Structure 1
Amino acid sequence: MKRTLLIPVIAVVAAVTTFASCMKNNGPTCIPNTLQQDRSVIDSFIDKNPSSANLMFNSTYNQYMGIVEPGAGSQPKDDSLITFKVTYSLLDGTELGTDTYSTPQALKELRKNSSGGYEDPQQGDPRFIYYYNILSSLKEGGKYRTIIPSSLAGGCQTRSLQNGKTVPGSSQLIYDYTLTDVKAPN
């Protein structure tokens, strides 16, 4: 009788232990890349892609930045009204989306600080002057590229975008800024 009862009890204990161990997950679901790991991936990409050869690592923004095409049209001035598009993609070339922006005010408004004054383009809060620095360095038709490490662009989690596209975890992102129109103020 003892053996008959012992076998089902052992089977139940083994099943419960196995089931419980499958449910328990104390570890992280993913391990994010370090900035150094991302830089290694991006450096390899740049070495294999001549169009990105001018990109340099910018320690202020912790990303790669540079002019891909300088453009041949008008150079924007502080009072210029501009239109630019941003194309987002993965290093493998998969396009994630494109947005177009027009400045309703002059280009200099992109570097306006929270107190209403204007920041020196070489100083101040990077959030306010990021686009200013990029767009003021181009002529109409020019393209500026940034590559953002995964450690700054979502980490190791896969994310779904509003347009239905998916960004795999640990993906480095390319942002291409193209200055499409430069107009004198009204």
Structure 2
Amino acid sequence: MRRYLMLLVLTAAIIGSCSKKEKPCVSKSVEEELPAMKKYAEDNSINYQQHESGILYEIIEPGTGAQPTSSSTVKAKYEGRFLNGQKFDESTDGVSFNLSQVIPGWTTIVPLLKEGGKMKVIIPSSLAYDCHPYYPAFHNKPLYFSIELLEVE
């Protein structure tokens, strides 16, 4: 009887663990996400341009100082939101980072600004966190950022 009970518990555990497996994340193309990105821009009065990468952006103020490259270390203030409006990150005092070590969307778009510049950006998920296993909450989610480039270090 104990053997039977043990076998039953083991079988239930195996079946239960199999049913809890999530589907693997499959990356979305920029074309699939553009309608939602454009709707967000229009709903939030962002007068966007589309970068060749698919990023939608509006330069609010171009800035007048030094201009970074994709490998520069910069200091920036920013706010990040999902397209449902939920804030996921913010730096109000500014944070320094190397543009080659952040999401590809930032590496691509921040060099369009000069020090003192400000922009609004909508980044397709493929240029954000895509299907990165450490960031499941970000899978296939385009991201909105308001960015102020404080300094090119």
For the superposition of Structure 1 and Structure 2, which TM-score range results when normalised by the shorter chain?
A: 0.5 to 0.7
Structure 1 residues not aligned, in runs of 5+: 1-11, 104-109, 111-126, 161-165
Structure 1 residue 87 corresponds to structure 2 residue 79 = yes
Q: Once the 2 structures are TM-superposed, how far is the Cα of residue 39 of structure 1 from its aligned partner?
A: 1.0
Q: Once the 2 structures are TM-superposed, how far is the Cα of residue 58 of structure 1 from its aligned partner?
A: 0.7
SS in 1 for 2:111: helix
Equivalent of residue 146 in structure 1, options 121, 124, 127: 121
Q: 1:16-40: CA deviations, max 9, x gaps?
A: 6xx6597289994233322211112
Aligned partner of 1:64 in structure 2 is 56
Aligned partner of 1:123 in structure 2 is none
**Counterparts of 2:138 and 2:132 in 1: how far apart (Å)?**
7
- Note if contact 2:113-2:149 (Cα within 8 Å) is conserved in structure 1: no
- Note if contact 2:78-2:147 (Cα within 8 Å) is conserved in structure 1: yes
SS in 2 for 1:151: helix
Q: 1:24-82: CA deviations, max 9, x gaps?
A: 899942333222111121011112121x12x22211x3311221x328xx72256xxx8
Structure 2 residues not aligned, in runs of 5+: 1-6, 68-73, 100-105
Structure 1 residue 175 corresponds to structure 2 residue 137 = no
Residues 64, 26 of structure 1: alpha-carbon distance in 2 compared, 3 angstrom cutoff: same
Aligned partner of 2:64 in structure 1 is 75
**Counterparts of 1:148 and 1:91 in 2: how far apart (Å)?**
10
Q: Could you tell me the TM-score, scaled by structure 1's length? A: 0.50
CA RMSD in angstroms comes to 4.3
**Counterparts of 2:58 and 2:50 in 1: how far apart (Å)?**
9
**Counterparts of 1:84 and 1:76 in 2: how far apart (Å)?**
13
**Counterparts of 2:137 and 2:81 in 1: how far apart (Å)?**
9
Aligned partner of 2:43 in structure 1 is 48
Q: 1:111-141: CA deviations, max 9, x gaps?
A: xxxxxxxxxxxxxxxx9785332235xxx4x
